[in-house]
Chain A
Amino acid sequence: MTQTTPDAPVRRQRAQVKVRTLRTDRWWLVPLLTFLGLSSFLVYGIWAIIDNSYFVDPYIAPFASPCLATSCPEGARLFGWAPFGDWYALPPGLLILGLPGGFRLTCYYYRKSYYRSFWLSPPACAVQEPHGKYTGERRFPLILQNIHRYFFYAAIVIGLILAYDAVLALVHKPTGLGTWILVVNAVLINAYTLSCHSCRHITAGRLNHFSRHPLRYRAWTFVSKLNAKHQPLAWASMFSVMGADLYVRLVAKGIIAFPYA
């Protein structure tokens, strides 16, 4: 029998298996579905930015809220404000979509999903990635993922505004289908925002003595339970915000026009 020492070159070699993976299951299905899901969100978002049918009283499309320019219909403005005045002529969605968009772009769950499905790094566990070099999130631009918590703060504000929009719709048109679509969307968006890993860290995750901060510990426990559902909440809120936005635009365009719309 051949004897090898730890320093022998032969002991430093891995098994030379020539295929990318020996997995026999459909490992490619999840990254493919993720790619299609995230791509549809991107395409819809671009269309929603340039589409002007974002308001029909009392509904405002989530992708255009808050509306902060004079070009917005008066009923669509948050508290009647138009801080950007009449010089701003671009679509109102452009002003704010960067904030929730940045929140999702830097979200720990979405990072996993697009690193796998778009960048194939790796496409699935134990499937070889196609890149020759890998430096992770240590260098520009990926080091910017570390600003996730700032997008989280902004997303909290956006979530509250969407909840306010839903309450306004509830007050003015409680029997409208659109009202309840906006309510469900506001609940899902806020649940997704609160389930964020940065939120979990800020509540008490950064502490080493939970026992000295009982209230923060209780908040952390609650957020941790939500955090365990971060992935399903990410998808549910993504589809709910697209669905709610599309619904309002279709009502605004007159394509949906039944009495309780």
Chain B
Amino acid sequence: MSYKAKFKVWRGEGGEGRLEDFTVEVNEGEVVLDIIHRLQATQAPDLAVRWNCKAGKCGSCSMEINGKPRLGCMTRMSTFSEDETITVTPMRTFPVIKDLVTDVSYNYQKAREVPSFTPPSGVQPGEYRMQQIDVERSQEFRKCIECFMCNNVCHVIRDHEENKTNFSGPRFLMRIAELDMHPYDVADRQEAAQEEHGLGYCNITKCCTEVCPEHIKITDNALIPMKERVVDRKYDPLVWLGNKIFRRK
């Protein structure tokens, strides 16, 4: 069964633009990205949208649908009523290139600032021996598809552009947690998480977890455990004393 849906889509280049009204056909089983493609095919051939897999696995079609960060390809039209006007805008935290396409290079810059996996000296690739229970915690974080919706929704940078320099966002704090929990990683991640990547900015309001399309428990399993590790390292005198007495690293 098809119907005509009302859409408001943000059109423009750079920061300048406006919401444009469209009325467009919707068919059973379609998702928002299908509708954007129909708009391209029938009414707005120059409408820019980034997409790739249409299966919720590439993280390309991140956008804001009725104000919420969502993947266009995973947002079913059946979740909206037929008389509802659906607003589609680009991710708010990142600069707009054109229409729904944003410049997410901030994220690539932050990714480069996280030192890669650092094994102990003397252990060669192929010699790592780990139990499954030692690595499964980090494996949850490997599900990340880098849609950057967690960084987009995080109010630390969404509402405060000036914090972008000092805050890497949930995506890369999760990456740091992943490495810090790795049994074979020896790099100092805790000091760097707090001082260089801005873990202290996080006030654990869990929006990153709410929008994650892979349902990764970013706050509970990465950010809070990382905050607790930083407390061990910087703020807990008993742990400090225990480490000195028992010569723990």
Q: Mark A98-129, 1 if CB is under 8 A from B, else 0.
A: 00000000001001100110000110011111
Q: Assess whether A125 is in contact with B210, with CB atoms less than 8 Å apart.
A: yes
B169 to chain A, nearest CB (A): 13
Of the candidates A16, A108, A115, A227, the one whose C-beta lies within 8 Å of that of B16 is A16
Using a CB-CB cutoff of 8 Å, which residues 74-100 of chain B contact chain A?
84, 87, 89-90, 92-97
Q: Assess whether A134 is in contact with B228, with CB atoms less than 8 Å apart.
A: no
Q: Assess whether B206 is in contact with A227, with CB atoms less than 8 Å apart.
A: no
B219 to chain A, nearest CB (A): 8
Total number of A residues with any Cβ neighbor in B under 8 Å? 57
> Which of A2, A21, A24 has most chain B Cβ within 10 Å?
A24
Residue A180 CB within 8 A of the other chain = no
Q: Is the interface of B mostly helix, strand, loop or mixed?
A: mixed
Residue B69 CB within 8 A of the other chain = yes
Of the candidates B134, B210, B228, the one whose C-beta lies within 8 Å of that of A206 is B228
Residues of chain A contacted by B201 (CB below 8 angstroms): 134-138
Q: Assess whether A24 is in contact with B66, with CB atoms less than 8 Å apart.
A: yes
A187 to chain B, nearest CB (A): 23
Q: Assess whether A14 is in contact with B15, with CB atoms less than 8 Å apart.
A: yes
> Which of B84, B161, B220 has most chain A Cβ within 10 Å?
B220
A14 to chain B, nearest CB (A): 6
Given A115-B205, A208-B183, A15 and B225 contact (CB-CB distance below 8 Å) = no
Of the candidates B103, B182, B228, B230, the one whose C-beta lies within 8 Å of that of A6 is B103
Of the candidates B89, B159, B220, B235, the one whose C-beta lies within 8 Å of that of A122 is B159
B47 to chain A, nearest CB (A): 13
Q: Assess whether B159 is in contact with A22, with CB atoms less than 8 Å apart.
A: no
B18 to chain A, nearest CB (A): 9
In whole angstroms, what is the CA distance A135 to B159 when docked?
12
Residues of chain B contacted by A17 (CB below 8 angstroms): 10, 89, 92
Using a CB-CB cutoff of 8 Å, which residues 1-15 of chain A contact chain B?
1-2, 4, 6, 8-15
Q: Of the 9-residue stretches A38-46, A143-151, A236-244, which lies at the interface with chain B?
A: A143-151
Residue A58 CB within 8 A of the other chain = no
In whole angstroms, what is the CA distance A122 to B97 when docked?
27
In whole angstroms, what is the CA distance A4 to B99 when docked?
13
Q: Assess whether B131 is in contact with A210, with CB atoms less than 8 Å apart.
A: yes
Q: Assess whether B66 is in contact with A22, with CB atoms less than 8 Å apart.
A: yes
Of the candidates B89, B161, B181, B228, the one whose C-beta lies within 8 Å of that of A198 is B228
A66 to chain B, nearest CB (A): 24
Residues of chain A contacted by B95 (CB below 8 angstroms): 11-14
In whole angstroms, what is the CA distance A13 to B97 when docked?
9
Residues of chain B contacted by A211 (CB below 8 angstroms): 131, 133-134
A60 to chain B, nearest CB (A): 32
Residue B38 CB within 8 A of the other chain = no
Given A10-B13, A11-B97, A115-B205, A125 and B211 contact (CB-CB distance below 8 Å) = yes
Residues of chain A contacted by B235 (CB below 8 angstroms): 143, 146-147
Q: Mark A197-214, 1 if CB is under 8 A from B, else 0.
A: 110110001101111000
Given A2-B13, A126-B68, A217 and B93 contact (CB-CB distance below 8 Å) = no
For this complex, 9 residue pairs linking A to B, each with C-beta atoms less than 8 Å apart, are: A2-B13, A4-B97, A6-B105, A10-B15, A21-B67, A22-B66, A121-B155, A137-B203, A147-B235
**9 shortest interchain CB distances as A-B pairs:** A13-B15, A10-B14, A22-B67, A23-B67, A136-B201, A138-B200, A211-B131, A125-B207, A201-B228
Question: Other CB < 8 Å A-B pairs besides A136-B201, A146-B227, 10 of them?
Answer: A6-B103, A8-B14, A13-B14, A14-B94, A22-B87, A23-B67, A24-B67, A125-B69, A138-B200, A138-B201
B interface residue numbers (CB < 8 A to A) = 10, 12-17, 46, 64, 66-69, 84, 87, 89-90, 92-97, 103, 105, 131, 133-134, 153, 155-156, 158-161, 163, 180-183, 198, 200-207, 210-211, 220, 224-225, 227-232, 234-236
